[in-house]
Amino acid sequence: MTKFRFTGALIAATAAALIGIGAAQAQDAAEDDLRLDDAWADLTVDQEPILTDLQFAELNNLAFQAAVTKICDGFELDQQKFAEGVSTATSPAPETVDTPDEMKQWETAVYFRLGASYGLFLAEGNANPDKFCQSAADLKADSEVPNVWQ
C-alpha cells in the first residue's frame, strides 16, 4: 500500500471517528430510552481486534447510512460511494493476516460486524423513525460530514 493511500485511509477513519463521537454525544443528549444499549454492548463486549476503533467507527457510520435508506424517505444509497467507504474503512488489513485463508476469515468477520451494526440501526430506526430520520437529515445537511447517499 502506498504511503498516500494509508494517509488517506487514516484521515477518513479519523473523520469517521469524530462523526461517531459527535453522533454519540448528540444521542446522549437526546432521549435514550429507544437505544438498544444492551444489544450494542453484546455486539462489542468481546469484539476481536479485527479493526481499529477508528475503522469500527467508520463501519458504524456506513451501517447507519445504509439503514437510513430503508427507513427514511428521500435517502438513497450511492452504491459506489458505499463500496469505496467500506474499502476505506477496512484498509489497511491487519499485518497478522498472512495467508488467503486468514484473509477470508478476516473479511468474513468484518462483514459480519457491519451486518450486525446495520441490523441494530434498523431496529433502532424502526422503533423511533421520526428521531432517526431527523438525525439522518441533520447528518446529510452537514457539508463537512461525508455521506454515501445520492
For residue range 56-94, list pLDDT tens digits in order. Answer: 899 999 999 999 999 999 999 999 999 999 999 998 888
Q: For the beta carbon of residue 118, count every other beta carbon within 10 angstroms.
A: 19
- Domain ranges, residue 23: 3-141
Q: Mean pLDDT of all residues in the chain?
A: 82
pLDDT band with cut points at 50, 70 and 90 for residue 34: low
Answer whether residue 81 is part of any domain.
yes
Q: Is the pTM of this model over 0.85?
A: no
Q: Residue 149, SS3?
A: strand
Best mean pLDDT range from 20-24, 38-42, 118-122: 118-122
Answer whether residue 105 is part of any domain.
yes
Tally of structural domains, the chain: 1
Answer whether residue 117 is part of any domain.
yes
pLDDT band with cut points at 50, 70 and 90 for residue 7: very low
Answer whether residue 147 is part of any domain.
no
Cell of 24: 454519540
At 8 the pLDDT is 45
Check if the beta carbon of residue 16 is closer than 8 Å to that of residue 61.
yes
Answer whether residue 148 is part of any domain.
no
Alpha-carbon dihedral angle through residues 4, 101, 83, 112, given to the nearest 10 degrees: -120
For residue range 84-125, list pLDDT tens digits in order. Answer: 999 999 988 888 888 999 999 989 989 999 999 999 999 999
Give the number of C-alpha atoms closer than 13 A to the C-alpha of residue 127, restricted to the C-beta side: 12
Distance CA 102, CA 138 (A): 40
DSSP H helices, the chain, are 3-29, 37-44, 53-71, 79-89, 100-127, 129-141
Answer whether residue 146 is part of any domain.
no
